[in-house]
């Protein structure tokens, strides 16, 4: 029996063949590699490099052949139905064989409880009156109360200051470490994750602006330096050679052969 992902892959293949497109045509027009197109048509979406690629490639491919990309992604991400494991019904009449049944308290036990309660009550009353007598005769009543009150009022303020400092420390973002361009130069690769734009300054040349679409791949040869400015953070992923740039919430970056610039 075909799975839901296999059915979605066949839907892509059927629509492409109806339009008379070959996989090579689609690869050239969408700039998605042919091997990824084949994986999607076979329902093997997990063969794509990652979730960002799955979302971007599926959206671009579906739109290119005239399918509703949002509906297609919703069906792709829908949870698969699994067999429900039925647990045995609980019978309130069933009892564990080793659990002894509770016995009603005897009359003797109830009498002991009442006697103990009376004794505790009497002792508590005596202790209370002794405390009152001791406080009334103490010459340092006012100073002791002032000291206790001062300690009680200072503790919440100190705790509040510590809490605020901890929150500020947690909200401070960690610095982003970016690699340097090797002396022999390198290649900067990009994968667009959503519709956006960027401006790139390459080796001090005139800046160029690029319009981005989800799934778009682009690469640039770098000799000494490159500066990239994104219209919004997270619009694309970048690699310098084989090393991925961890940008976090940054909307731009600068790389050069001289570290620390």
Q: What is the pLDDT of residue 117?
A: 75
Q: What is the pLDDT of residue 140?
A: 44
Instruction: Write the pLDDT tens digit of every residue in 207-228.
Output: 989 998 888 889 899 999 999 9
Contacts from 201-206 at CB under 8 Å and sequence distance 24+?
Answer: 201/225, 201/226, 201/227, 201/228, 202/226
CA 186/CA 222 separation, integer angstroms: 5
Instruction: Write the pLDDT tens digit of every residue in 1-46.
Output: 468 889 999 999 999 999 999 999 999 999 999 999 999 999 999 8
CA 258/CA 225 separation, integer angstroms: 9
Residues 261/254, Cβ–Cβ less than 8 Å: yes
CA 38/CA 22 separation, integer angstroms: 11
Instruction: Write the pLDDT tens digit of every residue in 142-181.
Output: 444 443 344 444 444 443 433 333 333 344 455 678 899 9
What mean pLDDT do residues 186-209 have? 90
Instruction: Write the pLDDT tens digit of every residue in 82-115.
Output: 333 343 444 444 444 444 444 444 556 666 676 7
DSSP-H helix ranges across 1-140: 4-19, 23-30, 34-41, 51-64, 69-77, 107-136
Boundaries of every domain in the chain: 4-77, 186-256
Q: 4-77 falls under which CATH superfamily?
A: lambda repressor-like DNA-binding domains (1.10.260.40)
Of the listed ranges 95-104, 120-129, 188-197, 204-213, the one predicted with least confidence: 95-104
Residue 57 pLDDT exceeds 80: yes
């Amino acid at each position: 029996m075909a799975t839901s992902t296999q059915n979605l892959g066949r839907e892509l293949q059927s629509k492409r063949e109806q339009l008379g497109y070959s996989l090579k045509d689609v690869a050239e027009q969408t700039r998605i590699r042919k091997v990824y197109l084949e994986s999607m048509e076979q329902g093997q979406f997990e063969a794509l490099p990652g979730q960002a690629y799955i979302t971007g490639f599926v959206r671009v491919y579906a739109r290119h052949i005239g399918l509703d990309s949002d509906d297609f992604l919703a069906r792709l991400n829908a949870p698969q139905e699994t067999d429900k494991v039925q647990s045995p019904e609980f019978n309130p009449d069933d009892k564990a064989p080793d659990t002894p049944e509770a016995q009603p308290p005897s009359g003797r036990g109830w009498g002991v409880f009442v006697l103990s309660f009376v004794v505790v009550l009497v002792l508590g009353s005596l202790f209370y009156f002794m405390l009152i007598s001791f406080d009334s005769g103490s010459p340092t009543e006012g100073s002791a109360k002032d000291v206790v009150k001062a300690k009680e009022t200072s503790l919440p303020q100190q705790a509040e200051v510590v809490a605020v400092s901890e929150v500020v420390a947690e909200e401070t973002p960690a610095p982003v470490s970016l690699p340097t361009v090797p002396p022999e130069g390198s290649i900067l690769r990009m994968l667009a994750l959503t519709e956006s734009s960027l401006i790139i300054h390459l080796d001090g040349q005139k800046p160029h602006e690029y319009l981005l679409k989800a799934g778009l791949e682009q690469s640039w040869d770098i000799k000494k330096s490159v500066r990239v400015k994104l219209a919004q953070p997270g619009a694309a992923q970048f690699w310098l050679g084989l090393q991925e740039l961890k940008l976090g919430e940054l909307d731009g970056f600068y790389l050069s052969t001289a570290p620390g610039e």
